[in-house]
Amino acid sequence: MREPLPERPTASDAGPAAPQPGWQPNVVAMVCRWCTYAGADLAGTSRLTYPAAVRLLRFPCTGRMNPMFVVKAFEQGADGVLVSGCHPGDCHYVQGNLHARRRFATFKALMEFVGVDPRRLHFSWVSASEGTKWVRVVEQVTAAVREAGPARPPAGGPDSAPPADAETARRPASAEELQALAERLRRVAGELLEQQTASIVLGYTRGTLPDRAVPGFITRPEQAQQLVWDSGCHHNLSVYLPRTRGGEGKVAAVVKRCDVATVVGLLQERQLRRDELHLIGVQCDGVWEGDRLAARCRACDGTVPALCDVAVAAEGARAQQVAVEPDPRDAAIAHLETLSPDARREYWQGEFERCIRCYACRAVCPLCYCETCIAEKHRPQWISPAIDATGNTAWNLVRAFHLAGRCTGCDACARACPAEIRLDLLNRKLARVVEDRFDYRPGTDPAQAPPLTEFRDDDAEEFIL
Amino acid sequence: MEQRGWRLSAEDVRTWVDRLIAEGREVIAPVEGRGPRVFRPLGCAAEACLDPGKTRWSPKEFLFPRTETLYHYRLRADGPELHDPPLAERERVLFGVRPCDAAGLVRLDEVFLDGPVQDPLYARRRELTTVVALACQEAGPECFCTAVGGSPMGTEGVDVLVLPFGADWLVRAVTDKGRALAAESWTRAHAGQWSLAADQVRRVEQRIARAPVAGDVAAVLERRFEDPVWQETARRCVSCSICAYVCPSCSCFDVHHEGDAWGGREIRCWDACTFPLFTRHASGHNPRGGSAARYRQRALHKFAYLLPDAERTTRCVGCGRCIALCPAGIDIHDTVTRTAAGAEGEGADA
Amino acid sequence: MPEVGPLRNPYRPGLLRIETLRDETPDVRTLGLCFVDEQEGRRLGGWEPGQFGEYTVFGAGECVFAIANAAPDDDGGEPPRVECTFRAVGKVTTALRGLGAGSVIGFRGPYGNAFPLAEWRGHDLAFLGGGIGMAALRAALCAVLRHRSDYGEVLVLNGARSVADLVYQEEMPAWAGLDGVRVVRAVDPGGETADWDGEVGLIPEVFERLGLAPDGRIVVACGPPVMLHFLFEALGKLGYSPGQVITTLENKMKCGFGQCGRCNVGSFYVCRDGPVVSWERMQALPADF
Amino acid sequence: MARIGVFVCHCGENIGRTVRADEVAEFAKRIPGTVYSADYPYFCSAPGQKILAEAIREHELTGVVVAACSPQLHEPTFRGAACQAGLNPFQCEMANIREQCSWVHPDRDEATAKACSIVAATVERVKRAQALTPVQVPVTRRALVIGGGVAGIRAALDVANTGSPVVLVEREPSLGGNMARLSETFPTLDCSQCILTPLMVEVSRHPQIEVLTLSEVEEVKGFVGNFKVKIRKKASFVRAEDCTACGDCVAACPEAVPNEFDMGLAWRKAIYIPFPQAVPSTYTLDADRCLNARLDSETGFRLLACVRCSEVCKPRAIDYDMPDEVVEREVGAIVVATGYKLLAGEPAAECGYGIHPDVVDGLEFERLLSASGPTGGEVRRPSDGKTPEDVVFIQCVGSRDPKRGVPYCSRICCMYTAKHVALLKHKLHDVRATVFFMDVRAGGKGYEEFVQRVAKEERVLYLRGQVSQVVKRNGKLVVHGVDTLSGQAVELPADLVVVALPTGPIRNERLSAALRIPTDAHGFFQELHPKLRPVETLTAGIYLAGAAQAPKDIPDAVCQASAAASKSVELLSQPMLQREPTTAVIDDTHCSGCFECLAVCAYGAIERNEIRDRRGAITRVVARVNPAVCEGCGVCSVTCRNGNIDLAGCTEEQIFAQLAALGPAPPGRDTIEETDEGAPARAADRV
């Protein structure tokens, strides 16, 4: 009943159809104008030949190439993407390529982790004098893309989800211990308000569902009695800090060890002022969902970091120190990394397919503080608003990438996600990439510069042709 | 009522579902796999999950898809050429829907079919859809269908009602459309069995401990438009849209345009009143710029605004998903009942 | 369940070709649009002053404005020509501004309610437009001027931030030339030029200064929220009753017919129950503007 | 709606041989928005450009795509032609179908298809191109030179001689720098003072030069052509206008302190003139060494314990209450010529430097050789004033020593040591001189000849070797070393040891922070490009001269000074500076103020902009681009997570549209495969 649409005009419409048996790859090359573009010109003036599959896009600098452009290129049907610029030291803008090297190293790891065939995404340094190298790179890239074949939607394969987390030997803190901490916490909070050190205390209060603490905003000393502390205090309350104003007094917040890390991030990124904050660190033996210890807690001893203004901890020596266990997220990542790229893609597309774009991941993330998110930017439309594979994939990739080098692994996003997408694994994977490559661990030092705003002359570039 | 219905064994139910599929229908039922339990089209009956509990979100997306095309266009030298999207053609059964979710579909009908403009895409899908509801075997702490006039075995929006009966199931056609799904060969159930099964469900119903929403709630809430409760509760709100997207009766959407050099399409995507950009003008002015105004809009849209008839007090069907899933622990039932009761902004929800 | 017949796709726009363009101010433009398919134009029939349309710029999206002209009276004649006046502020309006004569855009509508012109018969009228707000009143004004004798005295108070921001400068002399029509132009203090011979002041002030008695006069006003706020205050002082004052609201809209859920003020859907609303009715709405 | 014209060039046979240009032009007609297309043998020819210009006018084109050769070649040509026809140059783009298509793809079909796709993408780009006009920056016609050594002096004179005013800032009380300390200069052995002093005098008398000695740059605000500089003039407590330089105060002053100019080898008084030829020739009271206790504040003294200098000063030039003065100067260009200092590290200590007074560095030895030096030009050892019989020179004491010193070569030591040997031998014919060296590097004009002459004629022992330590034994220094040619251990007695310490930068964190120019790993200021832009820095309008950039000898320093002056004059000679409009553009409405853009900007083009409410309270701090400084690399735009920074001329809208046009027909959009759900099978599902 539907009229078939007329074909989109293609080059072959312009004349006799080209006798193209089978498929020709489509490779988008984003190149910098000073080096690689000039190198490609040199290949031309030298009358070298190379496969016609590659289409060049000219940029001032690799530093101007947003990794999301690569996602866009794939969205638009590219079978492969090549990013190429000046050798280190040759950048017309001195250091643009060095920034790009860090960004793309991180981005490539993300793309590989979500199962983009590594044969589809390439990077190279080609100088203006390297016409022959340009030819070699194009040949190599085209051959690799040809081998990978046409980009196609996931075919649907066997379930390759990571196995369940290993059992924990840890147990929740005893009720008496928690009770004691809660009482101390109430006292501290009450005093802060009483003495007008703080005008508001962000803490946990009892919710309407059983065993579920909820964020509470305490402004009067007597309300401090409403504060609770137990192993159900999941929320990372630092998400409320940038938008909470203390007026005359400071804003006090109840923070766990993991929450402090995001506070550090917010300080680093100038979203908070330390002198307006009063951090009430609480010793935390881990948060539990039923009999499951939260993944992020397994490798955390829960002690109160030095950044806190006041520590609410057990008095005297504790009978038993918290036993630190391996992080189960690492095991899940390791499992996914044993899979083939296709299987990994299958897995992640399965995850993203469930995404309903409620943006709860963003909303609960303390570090997703942008006033208007890139997902809402429509001039141009960075992320398709369509709640389908394209839009969902782009959203989940951009979210993960924007947190690379920043995410402290508090897992608020994964916990909030109604579709149970393993956002924690994406975040954790990128955190490890950043730590391995740039020797940087987020959330430790408020004075540190974020890793993707920096570079080192000797950053690894083994992925660059 | 001559409707005695039928008694089916678990095996009978599987045969039934497989037959519906074999007859060319798309059968959509709760499926458990990776991630939460959600409604998905079945390959075969064995994939369906009819265990107690509800799906993570309602099956509304099968009538009101997360995203759909409204029209396509192609740019020609003399102007654009427009094409309507195809209408659905295949009959469809929503199987194992909880009564709250089935009632939610009726709320969608009110928006997409009962107004001055009927949505053709929705209308066609609705016409082709038959709803087989499954009475609840358990109630969660968030459930409050009974507080808003529903029931774990309610029949609003239901074509076929299924009640658990021991290891078996009692099946009753509520509408003619539902009756069309039944088979001649099925064993008839008798009245006694129905009353036993109903007692069972009533025990579930009794476990729903939440206070009923008063009949005059709409007027009270509109009067309390400036009540501090909105500010106090919404302070926690992080402005995601879990509540709206998992809600069986939320139906707000946005219209977007996607195009390239050659053509494009107009699409409709889910949207939610909890997002700050939902109402922001191009000028930057935002009538509902704060989370309190947005939360109030959502609550009042459920409990006060535009109720289709005087009898129904809410658009909310009481599934409680927004309560269970809210990352900030906001409880709309609690807010509304306390506000209606004139409670001060004290207590857990302060 | 309602009977579902072959329904029209409510989102599929008709096609209009840009015939004329007129720059009112540096960022406000008026388009004259005619139907690409004349039959389609005839099917549309007409619209009532106050109603609005959804305009599509292919490749950019949809935007909403009031239809700025009155539909032709008789339905047998030439197909209607739609006019709209818009300011380039967002993605779509900027794209619309980029279009030249001959370009084709989409149009669907008309939507919303209309000014109660029949009720105004025999009354004195005052049209108060602030900035681009005049565009929403122009259709009603045109209709009134076309049937000049049906109405009493007509005042047009067209105000803007500065002289350069004043819309419909070309047309005002023609309006003023009609018997019993008074056109007052006003700019905000500081917005006047050396040779400005109009009023200086905010619209509420200027209107107060005009000292028009309320008796039976209908005030039709449109402008930014802050202008309306002070205008209502001023009108109250002058003794106007809320029933005498009519405005037209603006809110973000997508579908145009009460489904997408964003333009409501309480139970009042601007797209369906508005945009035309009396001050009296507005007072009953929740403060959700 | 955009009205685009596409012009497909055959380039004779160059394109036409493999790309069917007529088909490309025909294809271009079908791209929505294209209203005109043509093909022609040579669009770059005069008739070709005419076709282009006429089409622009006739078809009222809003954008032009020239599908021809590389834009690196003819972009200016076609932009110029488009501009003459009334288009903005940035609305003309080239589609490179020669270098990157016809020349590299022999297959006609493939090449034609690729050319079509390149044209489609370029049309999409041009459709969204904005008209851009060059950024106009006013220029303040005045230069600031920081550092009054020979490089600074040369740069100041060169700029001033073109008629532009110059502010010359020197930290010390006198101009002259290190060169003033030297006795003679290699390889000509002319007297350093004799050639430098006239320049110093010329500077001080130059009507266009304002000399600020005893002054330091505290703050540099602004940008190229428009710097605002705060300079602190420290109090000298002697009114220059009254001082007659009679020197009576010196005689009266009771407090003697080591004289820095003589490298501490002689004494001066607390009130002093650094050296007789000092410019300006006025006295300075060293507030840190004066017997009067310094106030906590920066002005004057709290207690006057001694007023002898004031008592003897007939013109009453002493002013104990003189405050520091902060002056502000607006300048258009800045030359940084802060010079060098010698670095003493672990290797120096092993050689006894800083331990034995008779181990001296090169500059100290210069003073010992200098006729105006502490010994009047007689070489006597510092410890007891005896004339040395054995002098050992040790090269590379820390230079070329990546582990314990600096990895680089200090460039001047080989030459000055040869000079030292020559001067020493001239003064003390019988002295035994030995030079420990690694290599002799003498790569300047006349340098090698000089070294050869010294080595041959002056009876000096050049010993290739390394010194492990210098110890004192029986009142005499003993140099322990290894002759690396023979592998033999060497032990030499010495009365005087001269160590060649590395030349290093004057590390002034405050200054480099104020200037916002980076330093290299060693602390030298970083030039913009090591080869092609060795004088410029990352901050436009700031130039480098002399040893502040890297170790240099006098001719090289002077040479770079003249180059820096020339660069400054180039900038100052135009009333308005034109800069490329392709700069970053910030939409600050949604800026959250993380300032990561500022962190990654190499040019300091991003500023903090405080937005205030009506009462003047700061409501937000957002980022702002200074288009006068931005180079348009776009690094900041990628850093901005919510996409508030775009790049004019390479906008994200353009990039996205190009990407959309480059790909093949997305199947989801071409043949619409709708499911009932309405989700079309989109190509995008591939990521």
Which chain A residue has the Cα nearest residue D654? A380
Which residue reads 């901005």 in tokens? D640
pTM beyond cutoff 0.90: no
Question: Distance between CA C23 and CA C85 in Å, rounded?
Answer: 9
Which run of H or of E encompasses D212? strand D209-212
Q: Which amino acid is at A20?
A: Q
D118 Cβ under 8 Å from any chain B Cβ: no
Q: Would you state the pLDDT for residue D673?
A: 37
Averaged pLDDT, D338-354: 92
Question: Distance between CA C181 and CA D341 in Å, rounded?
Answer: 87
Q: Would you state the pLDDT for residue B331?
A: 96
Give the distance between the most distant pair of CA atoms in chain A. Answer: 87
Question: Distance between CA B230 and CA B291 in Å, rounded?
Answer: 9
- pLDDT score of C176 more than 80: yes
Q: Would you state the pLDDT for residue B310?
A: 65
Q: Do C98 and D2 touch (CB under 8 A)?
A: yes
User: Do the strands D333-336 and D542-544 form a parallel or antiparallel pair, or are they unpaired?
Assistant: parallel
Q: Which amino acid is at A344?
A: R
D672 Cβ under 8 Å from any chain B Cβ: yes
Taking Cα atoms as reference points, which of C56, C207, C15, C194 lies closest to residue C127? C207
Give the pLDDT of chain B (350 residues) as one tens digit per residue.
446 799 999 999 999 999 999 999 999 999 998 899 999 999 999 999 999 999 999 999 999 999 999 999 998 877 899 999 999 999 999 999 999 999 999 999 999 999 889 999 999 999 999 999 999 999 999 999 999 999 999 999 999 999 999 999 999 999 999 999 999 899 999 999 999 999 999 999 999 989 998 878 888 888 889 889 999 999 999 999 999 999 999 999 999 999 888 889 999 999 999 999 999 988 888 999 999 999 999 999 999 887 767 677 689 999 999 999 999 999 999 999 988 887 444 444 43
Strand partners, D656: none
Q: Would you state the pLDDT for residue A335?
A: 96
> What is the interface pTM, i.e. ipTM, of the complex?
0.92
Which residue reads 């096609």 in tokens? C15
Angle of helix D554-572 relative to helix D150-160, nearest 10 degrees, comes to 30
Interface of D with B in 31-90 (CB under 8 A): 31-33
* B334, B336, B340, B346: CA torsion to nearest 10: 50
Question: Distance between CA D318 and CA D298 in Å, rounded?
Answer: 17
Least confident of A49-63, C101-115, D291-305: D291-305
Taking only Cα atoms into account, the Rg of chain D, rounded to an integer number of angstroms, comes to 34
Q: Do D660 and B260 touch (CB under 8 A)?
A: yes
Mean pLDDT of chain D: 90
Question: Distance between CA A451 and CA A102 in Å, rounded?
Answer: 8
Contacts with D2 from chain C: Cβ below 8 Å: 98
B239 Cβ under 8 Å from any chain A Cβ: yes
- pLDDT score of D682 more than 70: no
Question: Distance between CA A447 and CA A274 in Å, rounded?
Answer: 11
Question: Distance between CA C140 and CA C116 in Å, rounded?
Answer: 9
| Tokens matching residue A381 | 């439309």
Q: Would you state the pLDDT for residue D677?
A: 36
Q: Would you state the pLDDT for residue A157?
A: 66
Which run of H or of E encompasses D453? helix D447-457
Q: Do B245 and A354 touch (CB under 8 A)?
A: no
Termini Cα distance of chain D: 33
Percent above pLDDT 70 for chain D: 95
Question: Distance between CA B155 and CA B174 in Å, rounded?
Answer: 7
| Tokens matching residue D320 | 């104990």
Which residue reads 């569902």 in tokens? A209
Which chain A residue has the Cα nearest residue B258? A384
Contacts with C267 from chain B: Cβ below 8 Å: 304-306
Contacts with A49 from chain D: Cβ below 8 Å: 104-106
Is A448 in contact with A381 (CB distance < 8 Å)?
A: no
Q: Would you state the pLDDT for residue B347?
A: 42
- pLDDT score of D517 more than 90: no
Termini Cα distance of chain B: 49
D366 three-class SS: helix
Is D375 in contact with D317 (CB distance < 8 Å)?
A: no
Residues in chain D, overall count = 687
- pLDDT score of D181 more than 90: yes
Q: Do D669 and B263 touch (CB under 8 A)?
A: yes
C73 three-class SS: coil
DSSP letter at D274 equals S
Is C102 in contact with C17 (CB distance < 8 Å)?
A: yes
Question: Distance between CA B137 and CA B146 in Å, rounded?
Answer: 15
A50: nearest CB among D104, D599, D664:
D104
Interface of D with B in 191-230 (CB under 8 A): none
Q: Which amino acid is at B190?
A: H
Peptide bond into C204 cis (omega under 30): no
Q: Would you state the pLDDT for residue D546?
A: 95
How many other CB atoms are found less than 10 A from the CB of residue D74? 21
Give which of B241, B249, B266, B315 to mutate to test C binding, by max C Cβ within 10 Å. B266
B257: nearest CB among C1, C62, C267:
C62
- pLDDT score of D603 more than 90: no
Which residue reads 């000046």 in tokens? A86
Contacts with D665 from chain B: Cβ below 8 Å: 262
The string of DSSP codes covering D64-79 is EEEEES-HHHHHHHHH
| Tokens matching residue D334 | 């800045």
Confidence of residue D511 (pLDDT cuts 50, 70, 90): confident
Q: Which amino acid is at C18?
A: I
Contacts with B91 from chain D: Cβ below 8 Å: none
Strand partners, D202: none
Q: Do C103 and D1 touch (CB under 8 A)?
A: yes
DSSP letter at C151 equals S
**Tens of pLDDT, residues D562-602:** 999 999 999 999 889 888 999 999 999 999 999 999 999 98
B312 three-class SS: coil
Averaged pLDDT, C94-122: 93
Q: Would you state the pLDDT for residue A6?
A: 35
Question: Distance between CA D449 and CA D451 in Å, rounded?
Answer: 6
